[in-house]
Structure 1
Amino acid sequence: MEFFTVMGKVWTEYSSLFLHGLWMTLYMGALTVLISTVSGSLMAMMHRSSWGIGRFKPLHAAAVVYVEVIRGTPILLQLYFFYFMLPQWFPALDLSEFTCVMIACCVNSTAYVCEIVRAGIQAVDAGQTEAARSLGLNSRQAMIHIVLPQAVKNILPALCNEFVAIVKETSLASTFFIGELMTQFKTINGITFRVLEPLTIVGIIYFLVTFVMSKLIALLERRMNASER
């Protein structure tokens, strides 16, 4: 009972810090998904590019290398790399800690969004493209007007799941104390010298956010499937 009593006191006294941390977590997640959706879509187009010099396709090769390197290394390593690399390589930009961390998150998420978009496009029947070409549309027109509208139904739920994953991964950003939930836990822990109580509150907040988001994604998928019938 003492545990729950202390936890209640911690929440009462420091709820503003927890809520600020929640806001920063959701803000980071939303901003990362927004940016990586654009960059990941462009990367997916590069991955599918057939332009080249002879058999060498530079855009395709660059996209493949990017995706493999990013997906093959841990996000914490990438956070450290960009956190220390950007200020050293681009001192004139005077990048903040938050900006460096956000760039790292976007770089990481772009690789996964690229695969989501690419898989969504590939899931569209190839006959759709052939039919569009037979009607006189070129490859770009067929992609924009025929393939992408159908691919969105495959891509959107996966993007929402990526948002859920990013919300959880932002906890790693607490290494650099930029204000999200785990940073607030460290702050409150330093003030109260209590570990389990604030950590439990943070865990409950993460669970509630991801649980609600997962249910909303499931509802979206059901409605999208129903609209196809």
Structure 2
Amino acid sequence: MNLDFSQIVPYIPFMLKGIWVTLKFVIFSISIGLLLGTILALCKITKLSFLKWLADAYTSIFRGTPLILQLMIIYYAVPQLIGYDISAFLSAVLAFGLNSSAYVSEIIRAGILAVDRGQVEAAQALGVPYQKMMVHIILPQALKNILPALMNEFITLTKESAIVSVIGYLDLMRRAEIVGAKIYRNFEPLLFAGIIYWVMVFILTQIGKRIERRMRQSD
């Protein structure tokens, strides 16, 4: 089969550094996606039609266009308008964070609407302010219902992070491509990168299952 994994051995430390480089921007992206997604979800269930329309329009745009297009617009096109170069790291964080928030907002919105209406009515009857009701009563209950969907979104985000290699960001995928170009062999470094991605996703999946079990036990 003409395979020789010994040639990538000297480059393994270089490729392994890509794990943290990848996880770093994924963590930032997830944080933005979760925060902004929560805000968008609240806007979608509000009685203010303008905020609802704005949140729906945002979701439609980011869900209706390819992630790679959004990434390239932020990295290549936006600097043309503002006259300021955006780093590959910041471009990746913004593109993935903004894109993820559109999907997260739908997940959270569905979770909020799935909470028993009686919980809302009881809180209103007790005079609990809307903000406190959402933070302390509704959102915690919604989180238990949507945790699997949220973990699936974060896992998908981790896998799709390989897209940032197109803008030269030195993530795991980009490092595998560099090694392949240096040794004139692509199968071995790409397979090695694929194994690392699988391990990361497997670990995230197990963490998600453990968190889900603990939340169910706390009911």
Q: TM-score range by the shorter chain?
A: over 0.9
Distance 2:20 2:6 in 1: 21
Quote how far apart the aligned CAs of 1:139 are: 2.7
Q: Which runs of 4+ in 1 moved over 4 A?
A: none
Alignment partner, residue 5 of structure 2: 7
Quote how far apart the aligned CAs of 1:176 are: 0.8
Alignment partner, residue 25 of structure 1: 22
Distance 1:118 1:131 in 2: 20
Distance 1:96 1:2 in 2: 39
Report the number of matched residues: 219
Alignment partner, residue 222 of structure 1: 213
Distance 1:193 1:2 in 2: 13
Distance 1:76 1:219 in 2: 32
Quote how far apart the aligned CAs of 1:2 are: 5.6
**Contact 2:25–2:89, Cα closer than 8 Å, also in 1:** no
**Contact 1:44–1:115, Cα closer than 8 Å, also in 2:** yes
**Contact 2:29–2:93, Cα closer than 8 Å, also in 1:** yes
Distance 1:97 1:149 in 2: 35
Structure 1 residue identity aligned to 2:196: I
**Contact 1:83–1:100, Cα closer than 8 Å, also in 2:** yes
2:60 is aligned with 1:68? yes
Quote how far apart the aligned CAs of 1:177 are: 1.2
RMSD: 1.7
Q: For residues 133-159 of structure 1, give each alpha carbon's deviation from its aligned partner in whole angstroms, at most 9, with x where no partner exists.
A: 111223333222321221222244433
**Contact 1:101–1:173, Cα closer than 8 Å, also in 2:** yes
2:86 is paired with a residue of what secondary structure? coil
Gaps in structure 1 of 5+ consecutive residues: 52-56
Structure 2 residue identity aligned to 1:78: Q
Identity among equivalent pairs (%): 38
Q: 2:150 aligns with which of 138, 159, 167?
A: 159
After TM superposition, the score normalised by the length of structure 2 is 0.93
Distance 2:38 2:102 in 1: 10
After TM superposition, the score normalised by the length of structure 1 is 0.89
Gaps in structure 2 of 5+ consecutive residues: none
Q: For residues 191-225 of structure 1, give each alpha carbon's deviation from its aligned partner in whole angstroms, at most 9, with x where no partner exists.
A: 10001111110111111111121122122222222
Alignment partner, residue 44 of structure 1: 41
Distance 2:88 2:195 in 1: 27
